[in-house]
Structure 1
């Protein structure tokens, strides 16, 4: 869904995926990413407001065909990583990468 989608995704999509956004605001982008990624995932993955890597259920909510589907998620990770400057920021980015990877492997 476009609900809570980071503005950088809108910028990128509205320009035909040819122009990348400015570097993300590392102070806000992780929260924006997690809010959007949480909405894209099946509700059974959400426990107390956090995505968990356990349980089972349908993945149909995550089936996002088309040119902007999961590619947008991967680009978000790319843009986020480019703005990482500290170890703490890198740890949070790595957590997101692991979660996306886990999801794609299911």
Structure 2
């Protein structure tokens, strides 16, 4: 999948991944993001790989362990993937693509705030 091809590489300067097909990358990003979620996250009804953002669990470091990965393969990879996706959308994305990207940014922001 395209997002996995983008993510294992260390972000060096002006590196840009191969130009993905926006819809394929969007689908792959959401699937990948879903694999990083803690078990307590509730999937949004009828929306595969999307999650509700209502309340955080009781404060405990264990609740965030799946996302507590430092370094280039942790949250930095998530931010880099969103950045590349955003660049693609700003150049050729349709409204629906931009809405999905905005939703992804909001979900990542929500998770980071909770950590």
Which of the five TM-score ranges fits, normalised by the shorter chain?
Answer: 0.7 to 0.9
Residues paired across the two proteins, number: 99
Aligned to 1:17: 11
> Is the 8 Å Cα contact of residues 24 and 79 (structure 1) preserved in structure 2?
no
Query: Scaled by the length of structure 2, what TM-score is found?
Result: 0.75
Q: Does 1:41 align with 2:46?
A: no
Q: 2:65 aligns with which of 50, 60, 64?
A: 60
Give ranges in structure 1 of 5+ residues lacking alignment: none
Contact 2:23–2:97 (8 Å) recurs in 1: no
| RMSD between aligned residues | 2.0
Aligned partner (choices 76, 79, 84) of residue 84 of structure 2: 79
TM-score using structure 1 length: 0.81
Runs of 4+ in 1 over 4 A off after TM superposition: none
Query: Which protein is bigger by CA-based radius of gyration?
Result: 2
